[in-house]
């Protein structure tokens, strides 16, 4: 198990490096840098002002050198103007004595400065992740139990009317992306046309405090799309287990149906869905971006959208690192968990 | 003119009947669920089992009959809407009348397919499967809508901006319709006073052109790389798998935002990607023909020559916008959307194809072909690939649905397609700001996306069941 995890961690590191390099390359193409300068100084600046701004802030260096600076393996660029004021990557970290640290990159624990929100990236990402984490937590708390119940109840009597109804529901839920279910939920529960107005159609107020009223619609919107998939996997796994020899033996010796399902079948049937549930995390990330846009909730997804539309390089780099870590760690957990739960599988 | 009601003159007779049928259906489903839970929970005492199962059977019968009643009433609404005189038609009736070519084409397709289903192979078997048939009907409804869109639309989906129709409710009459202009906005007007109904129908054409074609290209890329990766293994496989996993580790939305911004388009990044990705179908077909016919140079030359000629022509037109005849070209916005969707989908296809190949290459017929001394490409493309067609076909259906969702996502964030494009994602994006006050502009395309994707998923489910039966 040890070497396996080490090897996977190595691949993870390599993937993260490649990915950040690609994001860095795309956000640092000349037209994107020009856009960045214009978002900072105003849209009406001249080309000369653009290039001088880029020069002063260290964007004029070769791309690989700046990637090195971002990583923290190369010293940060410092520009000294004629009047002695210094600017550049690390200038904002200057101490009281005016000394600027030589390196300021990820390795030093500094994730840079968001040009859009004008706060350090670490601070911003921390705050946004906390909000999105809240959304994800409630989405999982709704999605996983519902999906498992639907899957188990559908799979325990394959082909019955209950099974067909629940399977249809599961398929319908996988066919409803967040921006469709969100629109439908808002129309039904929050619009003046239907007039129910049970919930609010915007989650803006959830920043100050989550209430049942402002958080229900975003949560069920995120939960619904993933629910069907987990339910279908659980159903398939449960249906397979119910045809196993030991279930037949249990039936023949007169164990009640309820005990067969709860004591004999359930544990084995839940191994496969575990993997699927873990692999849902990255998928939820996309859903969260859509839901945050639809319900105006300033979380991690909102940071991604804002960062990308304003070419906020260091924010986007941090966002992609978080995303890739989430994807790869959940893959790793799902592999290890699968092996631990299922004694027939050995990792090597 | 008066605004239209939803059901028109038949409403007063049919609406109470529909309400009753729906109420009975809902009640019986609840009873059914309650009985199922009671039985599982062991609430029913021993000896009450027989009575319980009686009740369950009765509830099941009621459910089935009320479901039939609801469906029959819906059909009556649609048919009565077509045959009713013009002044008696409601919104549903008028929409149903506009869709008349689609109904006829659907009926013809189903009649012919069911009549000849024993001679049609897997496609014919689909008509033994109720789920598959429902899915097929939903998909074909949208396909025919896209085909006949020019006849169905009541107004120009992009150009007709009629004053006074901004954010109007469904069935609102035009103030002063000119000669030969349709008198109503059947599903209301959007924020720019365009007809929501026409935009939905025209959107079907945009979505159903891009989604299947992009899926097909993604399959070409995935197959051309995935089969050799699985069959040959080694460094080639390791490298390709790493790249595929790298692309899959990107959050889809970040990738879209990075690829589909105006600055990146100005640099030509999507264009370079199109030049690489669009080459794959041509390469695939050339290898396909060459591996099969290399012992018969004449046949091989004809096949390869034709492929290079036609494929090269399309390639020049699509990827380089340099078609010498000036016939084939693709608008810039569409090209970018197309490329990014293909790019996102192909790694998944690659992984599926690679997995299938790893499984199939251990079969006896592959060993037999190797013993005969067949070339590696022949074995890959003519022995392994045909035997993977079942799962690939099912995945193809599912993936068109997923691609439709991706297209909607792109439109939802206003990426790629021009902002006045009638496609469904863009319409949802345009309408979501005033969603709580004017729900119809975003609601109509949302329901359209849902029904198309649901149809594709049900179709895939039916195909999977039928192909497993063989």
Using one digit for the tens of pLDDT, what is the confidence trace for B172-210?
888 877 777 888 888 988 888 899 999 999 999 999 999
Residues A11 and A60 in one domain: yes
**Please, which pLDDT band fits residue A8 given cuts at 50, 70 and 90?**
confident
| DSSP letter (8 states) at residue A110 | -
In a domain, A337, yes or no: yes
- Tell me if A285 is assigned to some domain: yes
In a domain, A347, yes or no: no
CA distance B291 to chain A (A): 36
* pLDDT attached to residue B406: 93
Q: Average pLDDT, stretch A193-211?
A: 82
Read off the tokens for A322. Answer: 């978080």
**What is the spatial distance between Cα A252 and Cα B186, in angstroms, rounded to a whole number?**
62
**B462: contact with A, CB 8 A cutoff:** no
Choose among A15, A27, A285: nearest Cβ to B251: A285
Q: Cα(B326)–Cα(B203) distance, rounded to whole angstroms?
A: 26
Q: Are residues A104 and A138 in the same domain?
A: no
Q: Do B457 and A171 touch (CB under 8 A)?
A: yes
Interface test with A, best of B45, B257, B410, B425 (most A CBs within 10 A): B257
Q: Are residues A89 and A157 located together in one domain of the fold?
A: no
Report the residue from A174, A191, A316 with minimal CB separation from B435: A191
- Judge: B454–A172 Cβ closer than 8 Å, yes or no: yes
Tally A–B CB contacts below 8 A: 151
Q: Residue B43: what pLDDT?
A: 46
Which residue in the set A31, A192, A257 is minimally distant from B436, CB to CB?
Answer: A192
d(CA B212, CA B338): 10
First-to-final CA distance of chain A: 7
A93 and A129 share a domain?
no
Interface mutation target, options B142, B261, B344, B424, chain A, most CBs of A under 10 Å: B261
3-state secondary structure of A85: coil
Q: How confident is the model at residue B270 (pLDDT cuts 50, 70, 90)?
A: confident
Q: Cβ A304–B254 below 8 Å, yes or no?
A: yes
Alpha helices by DSSP H, listed for chain A, are 2-27, 30-41, 47-56, 63-71, 121-156, 161-174, 178-190, 212-242, 245-252, 257-259, 266-269, 271-294, 300-309, 313-341
pLDDT-above-90 percentage for chain A: 34
Domain shared by A160 and A253, yes or no: yes
Candidates B41, B435, B449; nearest CB to A201: B435
Pairwise CA distance, residues A60 & A248, whole Å: 72
Q: From CA B176, how far away is CA B183, in angstroms rounded?
A: 8
Domain limits at A195?
121-341
In this structure, is residue A29 part of a structural domain?
A: yes
Task: Say if residue A299 is in the same domain as residue A331.
Answer: yes
Out of B245, B264, B450, closest to residue A176 by CB: B450
In this structure, the answer to whether residues A269 and A326 fall within a common structural domain is yes
CA–CA dist B320, B13 (Å, integer): 60
Whole-angstrom distance, CA of residue A154 vs CA of residue A231: 9
How much is the pLDDT for A173?
94
Which of A18, A54, A14, A57 has the alpha carbon at shortest distance from A33? A54
**pLDDT above 70 (res B283):** yes
Q: Do B251 and A290 touch (CB under 8 A)?
A: no
Please say which residue of A62, A82, A108 terminates a domain.
Answer: A108
Minimal Cα distance from A33: which residue of B? B263
Cα A255 to chain center, whole Å?
A: 44
Shared domain check, A152 and A92: no
Quick one: A142 and A37 in the same domain? no
Average pLDDT, chain B: 88
Residue A114 resides in a domain: no
> Cβ–Cβ of A256/B42 closer than 8 Å?
yes
Q: B125-138 burial, b if ≥16 CB within 10 A, otherwise e?
A: bbbebebbbbbbeb
Rounded to the nearest angstrom, the minimum Cα separation between B453 and chain A is 5
User: Does the pLDDT value for residue B451 go beyond 70?
Assistant: yes
**CA-CA distance, B240 to B222, in Å (whole number)?**
11
Percent of chain B at pLDDT exceeding 70: 97
- Choose the closest CB to B253 out of A27, A32, A304: A304
Poorest-confidence range of A34-38, B368-372, B461-465? A34-38
Q: Looking at per-residue confidence, does B25 or A342 come out higher?
A: B25
Q: What pairing do the DSSP bridges indicate for beta strands B172-173 and B184-185?
A: antiparallel
Of A19, A174, A258, the CB nearest to B42: A258
Mutation for A interface: B405, B410, B459, most A CBs within 10 A: B405
CA distances to A65, A326, B272, B381 from B357, in Å: 42, 30, 30, 10
Residues A79 and A223 in one domain: no
- The shortest CB-CB distance from A319 to any of B254, B453, B457 is to B254
Q: Spell out which residues of chain B touch residue A177, defining contact as CB-CB under 8 Å.
A: 405, 408-409, 449, 453
> B439 and chain A: CB distance < 8 Å anywhere?
yes
Q: Output the pLDDT for position A300.
A: 93
| Tens-digit pLDDT profile for residues B4-61 | 888 888 888 888 889 999 999 999 888 877 877 776 655 444 445 556 677 777 877 8
- For residue B94, pLDDT over 70 is answered with yes
A90 vs chain B: nearest CA distance in angstroms?
Answer: 26
CATH code for position A183: 1.10.3720.10
* Inside any domain, residue A348: no
Which two three-digit tokens encode residue A174? 């996988």
Give yes or no for B101 touching A (CB within 8 A): no
- What separation, in Å, do the N-terminal and C-terminal C-alpha atoms of chain B show? 59
What residues of chain B, 363 to 422, have a C-beta less than 8 Å from chain A?
401, 405, 408-409, 412-413
Cβ of residue B271 closer than 8 Å to a chain A Cβ: no
CA distance B294 to chain A (A): 41
Contact residues, chain B, for A302 at CB < 8 Å: none
Query: B249, B266, B454: best mutation site toward chain A, by most A Cβ within 10 Å?
Result: B249
CB contact under 8 A, A15 and B261: no
Average pLDDT over residues A79-83: 76
- Partner residue facing A15 (CB), from B245, B251, B447: B245
Chain B hits for A172, Cβ within 8 Å: 454
Domain tally, chain A: 2
Put simply, whether B150 touches A (Cβ < 8 Å) is no
Rounded to an integer, the average pLDDT of A57-86 is: 82
Q: What is the pLDDT of residues B112-168, one digit of tens each?
A: 999 998 888 888 888 988 889 999 999 999 999 999 999 999 999 888 888 888 888
Q: Residue B371 has what pLDDT?
A: 94
Nearest CA in chain B to A229: B457
Q: B441: nearest CA in chain A?
A: A183
SS3 A62: coil
Whole-number pLDDT of residue B41: 59
Contacts of A169 in chain B (CB under 8 A): none
Which of A52, A78, A108 is the C-terminal boundary of a domain? A108
Q: Under a CB-based contact definition with an 8 Å cutoff, are residues B260 and B417 in contact?
A: no
Distances (CA, A) of B109 to B117, B124, B148, B429: 11, 12, 15, 35
Decide if A113 is inside a domain: no
Identify the pLDDT of residue A63: 86
pLDDT higher than 50, residue A187: yes
In chain A, residues with a C-beta closer than 8 Å to the C-beta of B453 are 175-177
Burial label for B359, CB within 10 Å (0-12, 13-18, 19+), is middle
Q: Which of A83-97, B92-106, B249-263 has the lowest mean pLDDT?
A: A83-97
Q: Give me the residues paired with residue A87 across strands.
A: A79
pLDDT, position B52: 62
Same domain? A166 vs A39: no
Which residue among A76, A108, A140 closes a domain? A108
Chain B residues whose CB is inside 8 A of the A287 CB are none
What's the whole-number mean pLDDT along residues A145-165?
88
Which residues from chain A sit within 8 angstroms of residue B458, using beta carbons?
171
Range of weakest confidence among A47-61, B391-405, B442-456: A47-61
Flag whether residue B450 sits within 8 Å of chain A, measured between CB atoms: yes
B30 in contact with chain A, both atoms CB, cutoff 8 A: no
Domain shared by A274 and A301, yes or no = yes
List C-alpha distances in Å: A244 to A235, A250, B465. 15, 10, 21
User: With helix as H, strand as E and coil as C, how does A260-311 read?
Assistant: HHHHHHHHHHCHHHHHHHHHHHHHHHHHHHHHHHHCCCCCHHHHHHHHHHCC
**pLDDT-based confidence at A347, cuts 50/70/90?**
low
The tens digit of pLDDT for each residue in A17-39 reads 999 999 999 888 888 888 888 88
Instruction: Round to whole Å and give the CA distance between B125 and A287.
Output: 36
At A346 the pLDDT is: 60
Please state, rounded to an integer, the average pLDDT across all residues of chain A: 86
Q: Cβ separation of A29 and B257 shorter than 8 Å?
A: no
* B271 in Cβ contact with B300 (< 8 Å): no
User: A239-251, pLDDT tens digit by residue?
Assistant: 999 999 999 999 9
Residue A149 lies in a domain: yes
């Amino acid at each position: 198990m040890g070497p396996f995890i080490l090897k996977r961690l190595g691949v993870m590191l390599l993937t993260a490096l490649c990915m950040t390099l690609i994001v860095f390359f795309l956000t640092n193409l000349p037209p994107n840098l020009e856009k960045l300068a214009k978002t900072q100084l105003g849209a009406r600046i001249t080309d000369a002002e653009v290039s001088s701004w880029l020069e002063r802030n260290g964007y004029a260096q070769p791309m690989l050198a700046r990637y090195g600076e971002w990583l923290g393996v190369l010293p940060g660029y410092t520009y000294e103007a004629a009047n002695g004021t210094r600017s550049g990557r690390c200038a904002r970290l200057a101490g009281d004595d005016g000394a600027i640290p030589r390196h300021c990159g990820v390795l030093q624990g500094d994730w840079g400065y968001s040009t859009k929100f004008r706060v350090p990236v670490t601070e911003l990402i921390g705050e946004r992740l906390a909000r999105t984490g809240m959304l994800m937590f409630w989405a999982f708390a709704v999605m996983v139990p519902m999906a498992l119940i639907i899957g188990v109840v559908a799979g325990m009597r394959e082909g019955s009317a209950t099974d067909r109804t629940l399977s249809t529901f599961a398929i319908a839920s996988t066919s409803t992306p967040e921006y469709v279910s969100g629109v439908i939920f808002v129309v039904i529960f929050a619009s003046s046309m239907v007039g129910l107005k049970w919930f609010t159609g915007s989650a803006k107020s959830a920043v100050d405090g989550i209430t049942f009223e402002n958080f229900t619609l975003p949560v069920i919107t995120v939960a619904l799309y993933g629910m069907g998939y987990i339910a279908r996997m659980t159903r398939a796994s449960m249906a397979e287990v119910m045809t196993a020899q030991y279930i037949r033996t249990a039936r023949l010796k007169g164990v009640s149906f309820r005990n067969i399902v709860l004591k004999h079948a359930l544990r084995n049937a839940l191994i496969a869905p575990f993997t699927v549930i873990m692999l849902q995390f990255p998928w939820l990330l996309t859903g969260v971006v859509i839901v945050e846009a639809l319900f105006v909730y300033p979380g991690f997804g909102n940071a991604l959208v804002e960062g990308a539309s304003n070419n906020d390089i260091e924010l986007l780099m941090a966002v992609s690192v978080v995303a890739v870590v989430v994807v790869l760690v959940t893959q790793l957990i799902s592999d290890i968990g699968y092996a631990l739960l299922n004694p027939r599988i050995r990792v090597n | 003119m008066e605004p239209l009601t939803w059901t028109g003159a038949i409403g007063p007779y049919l609406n109470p009947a529909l309400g009753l049928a729906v109420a009975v259906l809902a009640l019986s489903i609840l009873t059914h669920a309650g009985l199922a839970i009671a039985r599982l929970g062991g609430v029913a005492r021993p000896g009450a089992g027989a009575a319980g199962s009686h009740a369950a059977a009765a509830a099941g019968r009621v459910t089935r009959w009320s479901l039939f009643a609801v469906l029959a009433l819906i059909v009556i609404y649609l048919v009565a809407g077509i045959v009713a005189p013009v002044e008696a038609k409601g919104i549903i009736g008028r929409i149903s009348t506009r869709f008349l070519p689609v109904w006829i084409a659907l009926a013809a397709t189903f009649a012919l397919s069911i009549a000849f289903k024993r001679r049609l192979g897997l496609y014919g078997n689909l008509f033994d499967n109720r789920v598959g048939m429902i899915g097929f009907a939903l998909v074909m409804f949208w396909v025919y809508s896209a085909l006949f869109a020019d006849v169905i639309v009541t107004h120009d989906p992009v150009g007709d901006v009629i004053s006074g129709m901004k954010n109007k409710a469904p069935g609102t009459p035009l103030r002063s319709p000119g000669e030969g202009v349709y008198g109503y906005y059947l599903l209301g007007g959007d924020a720019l006073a365009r007809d929501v109904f026409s935009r939905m129908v025209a959107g079907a054409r945009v979505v159903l052109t891009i989604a299947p074609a992009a899926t097909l290209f993604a399959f070409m890329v995935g197959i051309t790389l995935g089969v050799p990766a699985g069959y040959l293994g080694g460094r080639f496989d390791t490298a390709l798998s790493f790249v595929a996993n790298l692309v899959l580790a990107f959050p889809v939305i970040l990738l879209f935002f990075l690829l589909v911004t105006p600055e990146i388009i100005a640099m030509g990044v999507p264009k370079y990607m199109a030049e690489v990705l669009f080459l794959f179908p041509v390469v695939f077909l050339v290898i396909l023909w060459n591996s099969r016919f290399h012992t018969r140079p004449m046949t091989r030359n004809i096949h390869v020559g034709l492929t290079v000629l036609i494929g090269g022509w399309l390639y020049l037109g699509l990827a380089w916008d340099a078609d010498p005849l000036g016939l084939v070209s693709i608008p810039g916005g569409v090209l970018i959307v197309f490329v990014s969707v293909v790019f996102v989908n192909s790694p998944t296809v690659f992984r599926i194809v690679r997995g299938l190949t790893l499984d199939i290459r251990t079969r006896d017929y592959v060993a037999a072909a190797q013993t005969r001394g067949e070339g590696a490409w022949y074995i890959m493309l003519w022995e392994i690939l045909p035997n993977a067609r079942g799962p690939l076909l099912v995945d193809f259906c599912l993936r068109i649905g997923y691609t439709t969702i991706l297209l909607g996502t792109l439109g939802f964030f206003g990426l790629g397609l021009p902002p006045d494009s009638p496609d469904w994602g863009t319409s949802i994006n345009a309408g979501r700001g005033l969603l709580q006050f004017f729900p119809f502009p975003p609601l109509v395309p949302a329901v359209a996306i849902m029904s198309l994707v649901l149809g594709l998923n049900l179709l895939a489910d039916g195909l999977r069941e039928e192909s497993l039966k063989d």
